[in-house]
Amino acid sequence: MARRENQQASAANHKSADPLLKPILPINMQSDRMMFLDLHPLEVARQMTLVEFNLYKKIQACELHHSAWTKGRAPNVQAITERFNKVCFWVATEIITTEDHATRIEVLSRFIQVALYLRSMNNFHGVMEIYASLNLGCVQRLKSTWRDVDKKYISKLKEIEVMFDTSSNYKNYRDRLDVIEPPLIPFQGVFLADLTFIEEVPSHLKTGQVNFEKMHLVSKVISEVERYQKTPYKFYPVVPIEEYLENVTTLPEKELYDVAKKCELSAQAAEKEETGSVRLRGTTIGSLRRKERKRPGLDEWMPQSFLHGEKQLKELEKQEKKLQRSISFRVQQKGRNRSSTYSG
């Protein structure tokens, strides 16, 4: 009841709100009947971010000391970890349980769009949830589906892959954090990995003295976590969408793998039947099916104050290129500073 009242109160302010923050509401506002494709990917990203920031801001410093999260003494870390796993398997479930081939392509593409919006919001935890899901074996085995996804989305997914490249200790991701400001939700896996690595260092030196360097490193990581907790997002909560996202249906990985196998066999059989085992050059069954049906257009949700459809994604692309230039400049500056230090 309280959540409903809060929703009504925030809705009263929507008309006077910044138009770029105004919620994009689906036609069907009943959370128990809501479907993923009913929702605009931008609003999915916003509501995911609100849910996840609410979990992230509750993490206490005491939960990050002495690997407390591995000993059952970090309930808030556990909560956001469980949320990560739930979203990961929800994404996979939505994609794999979509029976129609063309609609499955649409669902997969829409999740990539959500990931791009999450990236633009600096919700890196959410980006990784979707990226990790798309890399599950059960999703990757949908080769017919992946083959027919628009190449521009595959290209964008590769950008996310580069951002989370694990080589050089997540250097690309860390470089990105250096040039952006909150609000921000960091990927939990990185700061927990940092703390785990630091905990392996002895707390006392061979001389018996306290290892203050270790204490400093732990404090530095925790301070960064706390810094990002201080700046909330200004999006408006949409209770039905929040409820939908908090109560999503997931299937276990084994079952998802079995369903994915059936989907792939079905797609291969349909392709063989429709093409007589001959694939038209430059054309796929998925592309033919997409031409036959009316593709759900993003413009159906978009108020006048928003960029429409593909233009909106192009705007995100411009922002991303600008950010990449800032990252490159910052990295070059660091390199020059190191060089001058060594030469001095």
pLDDT tens digits for 59-83?
999 999 999 999 999 999 999 999 9
Residue 71: domain span: 35-266
Instruction: Tell me whether residue 12 is in a domain.
Output: no
Q: What is the pLDDT of residue 190?
A: 95
Answer yes or no: is 325 within a domain: no
Cβ atoms of residues 232 and 183 within 8 Å: yes
User: Is 322 part of any domain?
Assistant: no
Count up the domains in the chain and report the number: 1
pLDDT, residue 331, reads 73
Position 199 in a domain: yes
Contacts of 50 (CB under 8 A, 6+ apart): 233, 235, 237, 242
pLDDT, average across residues 156-183? 94
Domain annotation covers residue 283: no
Asked if the structure places residue 9 within a domain, the reply is: no
Helices vs. strands in the chain: H and E counts, helices first: 15, 0
pTM of the model: 0.81
> Which conformational region is residue 276 in: left (phi greater than 0), alpha (psi within -120 to 50 degrees), or beta?
left
- Long-range Cβ contact pairs of 5-14 (< 8 A, separation 24 or more): 6/237, 6/239, 7/237, 7/238, 7/239, 10/236, 10/237, 11/236, 13/236, 14/236
Q: Is residue 123 part of a domain?
A: yes
On the question of pLDDT at 342 being above 60, the answer is no
In a domain, 98, yes or no: yes
pLDDT, average across residues 326-334: 75
CATH number of the domain to which 198 belongs: 1.10.840.10
Placement of tokens 């409820």 in the chain: 243
